Structure formats: C-alpha cells, structure tokens
Amino acid sequence: MRRIRIALIAFGLVLVGGTIGYVILGFGFLDAAYQTVTTVTTVGFREVNEFTAAGKVFTIVLVLVGVGTALYTLGVVLEALIEGHLREHLERRRMDRIIGRMRGHVIICGWGRVGRASAQYLTSTGQAVVVIDRDPARLLEGNRGHPTVLGDVTDDLVLESAGIAHARALIAALDTGADNVYVTLSGRALRPDLVIIARARTQPSKSKLLRAGANRAVNPQLIGGRRMASFALHPHVAEFLDVVMHDESLEFRMEQVVVADGSSVSGLTLQDADLAETTGALLLAIRSAPTAPFLANPTPDTMLAPQSILIAVGTPAQLDALHRRCTPG
C-alpha cells in the first residue's frame, strides 16, 4: 500500500505540474488539463493550441516523465490486485474495525495447540476471542472466523491493535518461556487491571511468569499428567469434572459467582441467605478474597462477605438465579 500511495502521489504531481505548465504557456485551465491528460496517457487526440518552441520542449519533458510515472503507477496497482495485496489491506482494515468495536474479549497470543484449545473452549461459552500470531500460515489453521492480528506479540503496538485496552483477559500461549514472560510484562504495563493467564513450560518459568505479573501460570504438561493420574485412580470423578466444566451436552454447569456490594445476600450467613432454596444451585466452596484459601462445603453460619467468590453447580437457570441474588437490585 505504501508503494501504491507513492505512485499515485507521483502521478498526481505530474498531472498538476503539467496543467500548471500549460497554463503558463497560455492555455486555459480546462485546455491545459486536457492537454496534460492526453499527453501523459499517450492518447494524443489533437493539440489544443499551436505549440511554440518552449511548448514543444515542455511537452517532450512531460511525455518522458509522465508516461513513465503512469506506467509505474499502473504496474503497482495491477501487481497489488493480482497478488492480493490490495484485498489483504482491505481485509485488514475490516478486521481492525471489528476489533475496535469489541469489548470484554479475550486475547490469545500464540495460535498453537494450547491457543487453539483455549479458543475452542472460550467460543463454546460465547466468549469473543482475538488471536495474535507472527506466522500467517498458522493463523489460517483451525481458525473458525476469529479476528486475527498478524505480528510479533512482544510489540506493544500489536497488543494495542488487538484491543488490549478493552479486553477482559489475555492468554499467553507462545512457544517459548521467554516470549511468554515478555508478553506478560507488556500486557501488565499496558493494562494493570488485565487478567493474564500464561503458559509455563517448566516450574522455574512458572515463578518467573508470576513475578512478571501473570495472574495464573499454567503448565499444560503438568495438568495433563495429573488428569491422566486422576482418570487412573478416580475415573468417574475426573470424568464428571471434565463434563461439568467443558461439555455443553450436560445440563449442569460449574461457575463462579461474586457477591457484589449492595446485593441482597451481602453480609448474611448462608442460613439467612438460603441460597439453596431460593436458587436451587449447590454451593461447593467459598473464597472470601481472590487470594484467600477455599472453604469447601461451608457451614450454614458462614458469612457471605462482600466480594466473596462462590463456587456453585447447577443448571443454567439455577446459576442465573444465583447471579441475580448476588447482584445489587
């Protein structure tokens, strides 16, 4: 597109320069413009006025400069059309407008196996996703219409073009630990309040990612190994957790619900709130703060403090009712 802009600007300057030159030679403005266009495009219907010696010299120069510029401009435009550069540019502009309108989306950095699995689960829950990768061929693999950004994710401008200012979370699923640390640092610098989940390939890299600002550092190999062991020891428990968290075919779901300030249950005990009777959802655990330990199977006298996090299981209708009880109004 830069070459096209330069070529068009040069061609426009030739037309303007030719018109001004003919005006100086005594042509009217319309005649000067007509003579310039017919000369540069080599159409040459007729000469509007009789040429003086100066007019002939000027026309020779205009032909040499103008025809070359016109051919160059035509070649650049045809090249862009034939090779698809213009189409890619227009598609990129359309993608940028889509991303610019997005709010509360999740940015996935790295379109490998981990990134694709994350996107698949997020889209199954209705969450919007923006994918970043430096490999254009890999961006096309398994992409089901997600908005994409081609570029080096360690560049702040690339993160900004992915809408990090309005994103809900960022998943760093790059191939190397160093890249994941770098993008975590960049994301935290651009958005101090952003939720950042980073892929950790080793235990030492996990601690580095947490120090760099990641909310969670996940080792897929470690989690995969533990799941395999769980299936070996407690297959039904492991399968139930898999289904309740990731399978849309099951009626029941597991979700987290935050007790908001000013809600009808804030400050009450579980017994007084009577969540089980009013919503039907089953409360599994309570966390009094984001970094506090979980209290599993809470007793009836457990206090529902503001900003407490409830882990509950239920149908979508039951969980919606629980969300409403924990929300002001």
Flag the least confident range among 22-36, 99-113, 299-313. Answer: 22-36
**Do 131 and 115 form a contact (C-beta atoms < 8 A)?**
yes
Q: Which domains does the chain have, with CATH numbers?
A: 2-83 (1.10.287.70), 103-218 (3.40.50.720), 251-325 (3.30.70.1450)
CA 32 to chain centre: 51
Q: How confident is the model at residue 121 (pLDDT cuts 50, 70, 90)?
A: confident
Nearest Cα to 214, choosing from 103, 288, 109, 100? 109
**Do 180 and 205 form a contact (C-beta atoms < 8 A)?**
yes
Tokens read off for 22: 């003919």
Res 191: pLDDT: 93
Q: How far apart are CA 133 and CA 262, in angstroms?
A: 43
Q: How far apart are CA 33 and CA 20, in angstroms?
A: 8
Mean residue pLDDT of the chain comes to 85
pLDDT mean over 174-189:
91
Per-residue pLDDT tens digits for 122-149: 888 788 999 999 888 888 777 778 898 9
Res 45: pLDDT: 64
Which residues face 130 on adjacent strands?
107
Other Cβ atoms less than 10 A from the Cβ of 91: the count is 11
pLDDT over threshold 70, residue 248: no
Per-residue pLDDT tens digits for 277-320: 899 999 999 998 878 899 999 999 999 999 999 999 888 889 99
Tokens read off for 194: 């952003």
Res 192: pLDDT: 93
Q: Who has greater pLDDT, 243 or 236?
A: 236
pLDDT over threshold 80, residue 15: yes
Tokens read off for 98: 């889509």
Q: How far apart are CA 216 and CA 210, in angstroms?
A: 7
Per-residue pLDDT tens digits for 146-172: 898 988 888 899 999 999 999 999 999
Q: How far apart are CA 185 and CA 174, in angstroms?
A: 14
Q: How confident is the model at residue 58 (pLDDT cuts 50, 70, 90)?
A: confident
Q: What is the pTM of this model?
A: 0.63
Residues 6+ apart with CB under 8 A from 123: 129, 144, 146
Res 84: pLDDT: 55
Residue 23 Cα distances to 34, 50, 56, 238, angstroms = 11, 14, 14, 85
**Percent of the chain predicted with pLDDT > 70:** 93
